[in-house]
Amino acid sequence: MKVAVISDIHANKQALEAALDAIASSDAAEVWCLGDLVGYGADPDACVELAREHAAVCLAGNHDLAVTGEVPLDEFSRGASLAAQWTQEVIDKDNLAFLEGLAAQGREDRVGLYHASPRDPVWEYVLSTLVADLCLDAQSDRVCLIGHSHVALSFAREEGELATGEPQRDGASLDVSSGEWLLNPGSIGQPRDGDPRAAWLLLDLEGMTASYMRTEYDVAAAAAAIRAARLPDSLAERLEYGQ
């Protein structure tokens, strides 16, 4: 079975719809979502509803937990905190109840799933080989999926060696049939690796390959929705640059 792995949607309806269209045209049988459905963007309800409809598995991210009140807003940047408060005001109560039922980690088909990292599923950013090594020591599954940093990347480790890592561009395909792995699909709704297109991962659980995908979407419409909601302008601007 192939699964499409998505993460960090951040209430960007335009990006999520475009990615789900691309996923529907792929041979993915399921969608697994690593969390952060809401926060930053202007369409929390539409994104939670799309996730409820399409995702077989869905984790909670730190922004989801901020909206449900499980993590305090003072741990967030000003823009993130404002967006979380705005989301609390506008979100439909059924969608809020859905977020309240999610956890920041899970396990499917011997693959570990974490919003942030195996050591700290809510907050830790895995962006260095040093941190990746500590996470690979902590994880019980050979292959784990992580989100949170909004950067499409992979870390790998062979027996007795140190971890290596690299950013992954559109079209990159990895053989993950041996060694230990941490794979980040990148972000659907707010990429931070310089490529503004929605990022996702196609994971083949039989062949054990991971293919990094990017999907174009209407960035201008997502930015306009953020401005119309009177959320901080910086949240609209960064979508255009993928930062």
**C-alpha triplet 8, 149, 106: angle, nearest 5°:** 60
Residue 36 and residue 20: Cα distance in Å, rounded? 16
Contact present, 80 and 39 (Cβ < 8 Å): yes
Question: What is the rounded CA–CA span in Å between residue 84 and residue 82?
Answer: 5
Give 6 or 203: the residue with its C-beta nearer to Zn ion.
Answer: 6
Give me the torsion for CA of 229, 185, 53, 101, rounded to 10°. -80
Q: In the complex, which residue's CB is closest to Zn ion?
A: 36
Interacting span for Zn ion (CB under 5 A) from 1-9, 18-26, 196-204, 222-230: 1-9
Handedness of CA 236, 239, 240, 243 (dihedral sign): positive
Nearest-approach distance from CB 112 to Zn ion, in angstroms: 19
Q: How far, in Å, CA of 7 to CA of 36, rounded?
A: 7
Residue pair 71/65 in contact (Cβ under 8 Å)? The answer is yes
- C-alpha 161/C-alpha 92 separation (Å) is 49
- The footprint of Zn ion on residues 41-100 (CB under 5 A) is none
Within 120-149, the residues that bind Zn ion by CB under 5 A are none
Minimum CB–partner distance for residue 104 and Zn ion (Å)? 12
> One symbol per residue from 17 to 36: x for binding Zn ion (CB under 5 A), - otherwise; what is it?
-------------------x
Does residue 184 contact residue 7 with C-beta atoms inside 8 Å?
yes
Instruction: Output the smallest distance, CB 27 to Zn ion, in A.
Output: 27
Least distance in angstroms from the C-beta of 114 to Zn ion: 13
Q: What single-letter amino acid sits at 190?
A: Q
8 binds Zn ion (CB under 5 A): yes
Residue 14 CB, shortest distance to Zn ion, in Å, is 17
**Chain Cα centroid distance, residue 75:** 19
| Binding span for Zn ion by CB under 5 A among 6-14, 75-83, 132-140, 229-237 | 6-14
Closest distance between Zn ion and the C-beta of residue 39, in Å? Answer: 7
Complex with Zn ion: residue 133 or 242, whichever CB lies closer: 242
Residues near Zn ion (CB under 5 A): 8, 36
